[in-house]
Amino acid sequence: MAQPASRWDVYIGAAAVLAHIVSLILLPAAGWAPSLFSAISLATGLIAGLFILVCLTRPLSSLGLVVFPLAAAGVLGGLQVLSPVTGPLATGGVLLGHIILSMLAYAILFLAAAQAVLLAVQDHCLRQHRPNGFIRSLPPVQTMETVLFELITLGFILLSLALLLGLGNLQDMFAQQVAHKTILSTLAWMLFAGLLWGRWQLGWRGRTAIRWTLSGFGLLLLAYFGSKVVLELILS
């Protein structure tokens, strides 16, 4: 059975995350602006940081094959901000709490989605009776599924709190230009709620859990970054 990450794995990963944070703070192009690439850089840095923390207690080190290259790409993308820097994001306490919880929920559910992809690959190889060296290094399927639902449960709680705070700050979602985010995030919440209910009441697992997880995260991906892609890469 796979063990949590070693001390040196954590040190190396923490150094990478620290470098990511420094690049966001110190480099001119990485100053905070509500732009697509700066948001991606922030999100990938947060994902990497949470990944390090989770690896201290859960056998998730194999996800580093996805998380760290993604974080590196996020740093490079943050240096190529296409939209002009518009200054710091002014927010009230409630809205700031909504943003922080939303980013945390997104990061945790990204890890869940990556875990679901690994689980899908593992399931396919085992069904084909072709477990290669990488698959053999993964924890047992039952452990993989347990960790998957732990991540989904934590992400669902954070997403629920984020939506509650967001609704408290919502006046007119069309006038505030957050209609698509509100609708897609709510649909994602419903999918994850349905998945957790199915797990507890019907014993859902395997391919059903994988499909629901990836569908829910896909909606979150569209909610968080869809409008920025359209506005900054297509319309501009």
Q: How many domains does the chain have?
A: 2
Q: What is the DSSP letter of 128?
A: T
Residue tagged 């995260």 (tokens)? 217
- Residues 20-25, mean pLDDT to the nearest whole number: 59
- Residues 162-189, mean pLDDT to the nearest whole number: 75
**What's the CA gap between 13 and 21, in Å, rounded?**
12
**What's the CA gap between 123 and 3, in Å, rounded?**
20
* pLDDT at residue 33, as a whole number: 46
Q: 35-65: per-residue pLDDT in tens?
A: 666 677 777 777 887 887 777 777 777 777 7
The reply to whether 134 and 215 lie within a common domain is yes
- When mean pLDDT is compared across 80-94, 164-178, 205-219, the lowest value belongs to 80-94
Range of the domain at 13: 1-83
The reply to whether 76 and 177 lie within a common domain is no
The reply to whether 67 and 107 lie within a common domain is no
The reply to whether 121 and 233 lie within a common domain is yes
**64 vs 202, higher pLDDT:** 202
* pLDDT at residue 194, as a whole number: 96
The reply to whether 12 and 75 lie within a common domain is yes
The reply to whether 104 and 76 lie within a common domain is no
The reply to whether 191 and 114 lie within a common domain is yes
pTM exceeds 0.75 for this model: yes
The reply to whether 57 and 109 lie within a common domain is no
